[in-house]
Amino acid sequence: MSGVPYRPWSFEMKVHEGAEATVSKGVWLGKPAILKVRKPKGYRNPDLDSRLTKSRMAVEVRALSRLQRVNFPSPSLLYVDQQDSSIIISEIEGFPLFEVMVNGNLEEGALSRVGGTIRRLHENGVSHGDLTTHNIMIGTDGEIFLIDFGLAKISPELENLGQDLQVLNECLTASHSEYSEAIEKVVEGYISSSTSVPEVPSSSDVTQRFDEIRNRVRYLG
Ligand SMILES: Nc1ncnc2c1ncn2[C@@H]1O[C@H](COP(=O)(O)OP(=O)(O)OP(=O)(O)O)[C@@H](O)[C@H]1O
Ligand SMILES: [Mg+2]
């Protein structure tokens, strides 16, 4: 956003410095917002690096705009600057599922609603690609939101849908092992909220594929 004399973005604070992105909180045209600037990873090949950064941003923009059209609970896109690889999105008021679980504040039923939200994402023809508990947020009224769509796929294959459940399963096992049957609750919500959508694999196909992936990993690991 260089060279713009009037800056409608007003910075408040940095909230996250990750491997891929710097995320800050601020105000965009009067509304609480998040600025996410993707940075090159410093690979040896700078051209490839810059292409990867740009493609992740383009993917995130495409997924968010598609989801916005169907009122999916994800941030709304407010501004895109391709040159700087940055986007401004609406701020979600709430906490990452990771923190909620680590602090022992998880409400009964929340994991099942997480599963329902994942199914809704899939029914809209999108896989997430990085479904960890850091990329799931719980709003102040307990609503579930998904964020961070840089690895999403539009028109995903069955394998990508099964992988979404497996990534979350691995994260729940590795970081939240004190919650027993957590993934089962997610899967239960995934199945119970599913409807039949043409061109989208059924919830039983997806959970079956998830079980296959899980077993594959077990035997290999
Ligand atoms: N719209 C939002 N509302 C509120 N908080 C957000 C929002 N977007 C991102 N955050 C916060 O910033 C963190 C990082 O954002 P995001 O997941 O989009 O970046 P990232 O690409 O994962 O960075 P990393 O390189 O570490 O993986 C999130 O886990 C969340 O805590
Ligand atoms: Mg993230």
CATH number at residue 136: 1.10.510.10
- The pLDDT value given to residue 111: 98
Ligand 2: centre distance to CA 198 (Å):
30
Give domain status of residue 150, yes or no.
Answer: yes
Give domain status of residue 189, yes or no.
Answer: yes
Q: In this predicted model, what pLDDT tens digit does every residue of 52-100 receive, in sequence order?
A: 888 999 999 999 999 999 999 999 999 999 888 999 999 999 999 999 9
Structure tokens at 20: 């891929």
Which of 130, 141, 164, 205 is the catalytic position? 130
Residue 192 has pLDDT above 90, yes or no: yes
130 is catalytic: yes
19 lines ligand 1 (CB under 6 A): yes
Ligand 1, atom 20, lies closest to the CA of 21
23 lines ligand 1 (CB under 6 A): yes
82 and 106 inside one domain: no
Bridge partners (DSSP) listed for residue 28? 9, 31
Give domain status of residue 19, yes or no.
Answer: yes
102 and 175 inside one domain: yes
Give domain status of residue 34, yes or no.
Answer: yes
How far apart CA 113 and CA 29 sit, in angstroms, is 32
Ligand 1, atom 16, lies closest to the CA of 148
Q: Which ligand is nearest to the CA of 90?
A: 1
Residue 103 has pLDDT above 60, yes or no: yes
Domain extent for 214 = 94-220
The CA–CA distances, whole Å, from 184 to 47, 123, 171, 202 equal 43, 20, 14, 18
- The pLDDT value given to residue 221: 63
115 and 83 inside one domain: no
Q: Residues with beta carbon < 5 A to ion ligand 2?
A: 135, 148
Given 90, 125, 145, which residue is the final one in a domain? 90
The CA–CA distances, whole Å, from 147 to 40, 64, 134, 218, 221 equal 20, 9, 9, 29, 29
Q: What is the CATH number of the domain that holds 67?
A: 3.30.200.20
Helix (H/G/I), strand (E/B), else coil: 192:
helix
Give domain status of residue 183, yes or no.
Answer: yes
Q: Which ligand is nearest to the CA of 134?
A: 1
Ligand 1: centre distance to CA 113 (Å):
20
The CA–CA distances, whole Å, from 207 to 56, 131, 155, 184, 212 equal 27, 15, 18, 11, 9
Bridge partners (DSSP) listed for residue 38? 21
The CA–CA distances, whole Å, from 97 to 31, 44, 145, 207 equal 24, 35, 10, 22
Ligand 2: centre distance to CA 5 (Å):
31
How far apart CA 1 and CA 9 sit, in angstroms, is 9
Q: In this predicted model, what pLDDT tens digit does every residue of 1-36 receive, in sequence order?
A: 555 567 789 999 999 998 889 999 999 999 999 999
151 and 64 inside one domain: no
pTM over 0.85: yes
18 lines ligand 1 (CB under 6 A): yes
Given 90, 115, 137, which residue is the final one in a domain? 90
Strands 153-154 and 136-139 come out as unpaired
- The pLDDT value given to residue 2: 57
114 and 212 inside one domain: yes
Ligand 1, atom 26, lies closest to the CA of 18
Mean pLDDT of all residues in 160-167: 98
Phi, psi of 184 (to 5 degrees): -60, -40
Q: What total of structural domains would you count in the chain?
A: 2
Q: Are 120 and 194 in contact (CB under 8 A)?
A: no
144 and 59 inside one domain: no
